[in-house]
Chain A
Amino acid sequence: MSEKAPGWRDIPIGGVIVHPGNSFEYNTGDWRAQRPVLDKEKCIDCLQCWIFCPDGSVLVEDEKMAGYDYGHCKGCGICAHVCPVNAIEMIPEDNISSVSIDEFGIKEPPPEI
């Protein structure tokens, strides 16, 4: 819990969220125990992973699989499970702790409404 979080006088009542899309600010990626890692050599860009990802954490560019939003990927492994060519491997975070999330790029937050 951040020391900088606002106090009870400074937040909307009733738990109402007045800034839509702010769940993007919640980095659920730090829940992850296993990380999906893509072998681009094997990948056929069928985008089954993109369809099945429950958190919208599979990045797509020009209709091709472009990696993961590790800031939000919870490591559920569904993408690895559905991949028809076994191009995705789930690797325990402990084994790759030296890899920075920043290397993989994170999607832009949704525009303010």
Chain B
Amino acid sequence: MHALTGNEAAAYAMKQIDPDVVPAYPITPQTELMQTFAQYVADGTVQTEMILVESEHSAMSAAVGAAAAGARVMTATSANGLALMWEIVYIAASSRLPIVMPVVNRALSGPINIHADHSDSMGCRDSGWIQLYGENCQEVYDNIIQASRIAEHKDVLLPVMSTHDGFIISHTVERVDGLEDEAVKKFVGEYKPLYPLLDVSRPVTYGPLDLQDYYFEHKKQQAEAMKKAKRVILEVGEEYGKISGRSYGLFDEYFTEDADYIVLALGSTAGTAKAAVDEMRARGEKVGVLKLRVFRPFPAPELVQALSNAKAVAVLDRSEGFNGIGGPVFQDVRAALYRKTDVPASGYVYGLGGRDITPEMIAGVFGDLKDNRLYEDEAFHLGVRE
């Protein structure tokens, strides 16, 4: 058992995975994560080759190169760092390189802001990366260890982004139950790359020109791998439960079974929502929380099933879509429900740039649902000053 910040929990998971290569560039609030990991490297606790590069674009480029060479590769970033990686983020996914990257969620500039929202990772929701959202320090640790297995599964071979909210989780100390080093080593196993560049007996070319005659087939392969990832995520989550006592699924349901009203949230806000639900349940109100853990691939049919007995569901987005409709989670949930159920989805955008969200505000959201005050066509901005 450890007392760790979210960043330390991520670095500790990385230490136990002991990746071959970690190219990294610092950015708040990820800095502490890589600083902690760099200490492991300096102390010789890990065998990792750490590459200190001159930008995030270079960090992801080095990650792609090392992964193509056949290495198990990890890096981490936040916000504008992720934005600077952008071009290569897509190349990592389309080259089918199972890189694992903790993303410490932070608002994208501008105006410049260092605090938590999901505008960074939500921006690359369609980049072909699997996305796991962690609620607390324990989940940060657990998700990263599972991410390695998910990414490298032969039916998947896609990079995984494991996110946690900047400062709220990244710089908060919590109790984290860690596994033994040997248990993690056994769980992640030896990485056997499919097409390692360093295998000179089987020469391959990565990243060639791919025109009208084959590009589409490669995109279809990526789309199918993302679909298959759902099954693999469930298998890995169950197997992880056997060694840790903590199983993981696509989402986590908190008092949803008999709930009339459900709040759907990602990341640390799910914990805040659970606190609100505890208080309201004590008063006999039938409310629940659905915490979406896996945003990519998007578990549409599973969500429909989980939400179908509710009278209404509120979807909380910690990023703005700038589309006049609402945030990305709201859009996907609403699309999933369309013609599958009559349960209305109501959209909220909250917490931008680290603006606090409180249990009272979430109780207010439940109040909106109860009073049939729904924001179906355009998300409500929760917590903004008029």
Interface of A with B (CB < 8 Å)? 1-2, 5-8, 11-18, 20, 113
Can you name the residue of chain B whose Cβ is closest to the Cβ of A1?
B213
B71 to A: closest C-beta gap in Å: 16
Query: Do residues A15 and B202 form an inter-chain contact, with CB atoms below 8 A?
Result: no
Query: Do residues A16 and B206 form an inter-chain contact, with CB atoms below 8 A?
Result: yes
B332 to A: closest C-beta gap in Å: 25
Stretch at the interface among B90-98, B107-115, B166-174, B360-368: B90-98
The interface residues of chain B lying within 8 Å CB-to-CB of A14 are: 94-97, 157, 195, 206, 218, 221
B98 to A: closest C-beta gap in Å: 11
Per the bound structure, the CA–CA distance linking A6 and B217 in Å amounts to: 9
Can you name the residue of chain A whose Cβ is closest to the Cβ of B207?
A15
Q: Tell me whether B203 is interfacial, beta carbon within 8 Å.
A: yes
Assuming the contacts A13-B221, A15-B218, asked whether A113 and B203 have C-beta atoms less than 8 A apart, the reply is yes
Interface size grouping (class) on chain B: 20 to 34
Query: Do residues A11 and B217 form an inter-chain contact, with CB atoms below 8 A?
Result: yes
Assuming the contacts A7-B217, A8-B220, asked whether A16 and B212 have C-beta atoms less than 8 A apart, the reply is no
The interface residues of chain B lying within 8 Å CB-to-CB of A7 are: 217
Query: Do residues B195 and A12 form an inter-chain contact, with CB atoms below 8 A?
Result: yes
Q: Tell me whether B204 is interfacial, beta carbon within 8 Å.
A: yes
Can you name the residue of chain B whose Cβ is closest to the Cβ of A2?
B213
Can you name the residue of chain A whose Cβ is closest to the Cβ of B216?
A8
The interface residues of chain B lying within 8 Å CB-to-CB of A17 are: 204-205, 208
Assuming the contacts A17-B208, A20-B203, A20-B205, asked whether A11 and B214 have C-beta atoms less than 8 A apart, the reply is yes
Query: Do residues B195 and A15 form an inter-chain contact, with CB atoms below 8 A?
Result: no
The interface residues of chain B lying within 8 Å CB-to-CB of A13 are: 96, 157, 194, 218, 221, 225
Interface of B with A (CB < 8 Å)? 94-97, 157, 194-195, 202-208, 210, 212-215, 217-218, 220-221, 224-225
B22 to A: closest C-beta gap in Å: 22
Per the bound structure, the CA–CA distance linking A5 and B225 in Å amounts to: 21
The interface residues of chain A lying within 8 Å CB-to-CB of B215 are: 15
Per the bound structure, the CA–CA distance linking A72 and B202 in Å amounts to: 26
Per the bound structure, the CA–CA distance linking A1 and B213 in Å amounts to: 6
Assuming the contacts A8-B220, A8-B221, asked whether A15 and B204 have C-beta atoms less than 8 A apart, the reply is no
Query: Do residues B95 and A15 form an inter-chain contact, with CB atoms below 8 A?
Result: yes
The interface residues of chain A lying within 8 Å CB-to-CB of B97 are: 14
A24 to B: closest C-beta gap in Å: 13
Per the bound structure, the CA–CA distance linking A1 and B206 in Å amounts to: 23
User: A8 contacts which of B206, B208, B212, B218 (Cβ < 8 Å)?
Assistant: B218
Can you name the residue of chain B whose Cβ is closest to the Cβ of A9?
B221
Closest 9 pairs (CB-CB, A-B): A14-B96, A17-B205, A8-B217, A8-B220, A14-B95, A15-B210, A13-B96, A20-B203, A16-B195
Per the bound structure, the CA–CA distance linking A13 and B96 in Å amounts to: 7
Can you name the residue of chain B whose Cβ is closest to the Cβ of A6?
B217
The interface residues of chain A lying within 8 Å CB-to-CB of B157 are: 13-14
- Other than the given A15-B206, A16-B206, A20-B204, 10 more pairs (CB < 8 A) read A1-B213, A8-B221, A13-B157, A14-B97, A15-B95, A15-B207, A16-B95, A18-B195, A20-B203, A20-B205
Per the bound structure, the CA–CA distance linking A15 and B204 in Å amounts to: 10
Query: Do residues A15 and B214 form an inter-chain contact, with CB atoms below 8 A?
Result: yes
Per the bound structure, the CA–CA distance linking A11 and B219 in Å amounts to: 12
Per the bound structure, the CA–CA distance linking A5 and B217 in Å amounts to: 11
Per the bound structure, the CA–CA distance linking A36 and B202 in Å amounts to: 38
User: B204 contacts which of A1, A6, A18 (Cβ < 8 Å)?
Assistant: A18
> What are 29 pairs between A and B in contact, CB < 8 Å?
A1-B213, A2-B213, A5-B214, A6-B217, A7-B217, A8-B218, A8-B221, A11-B218, A11-B221, A12-B195, A13-B157, A13-B194, A13-B221, A13-B225, A14-B95, A14-B157, A14-B195, A14-B218, A15-B215, A15-B218, A16-B205, A16-B206, A17-B204, A18-B202, A18-B204, A20-B203, A20-B204, A20-B205, A113-B203
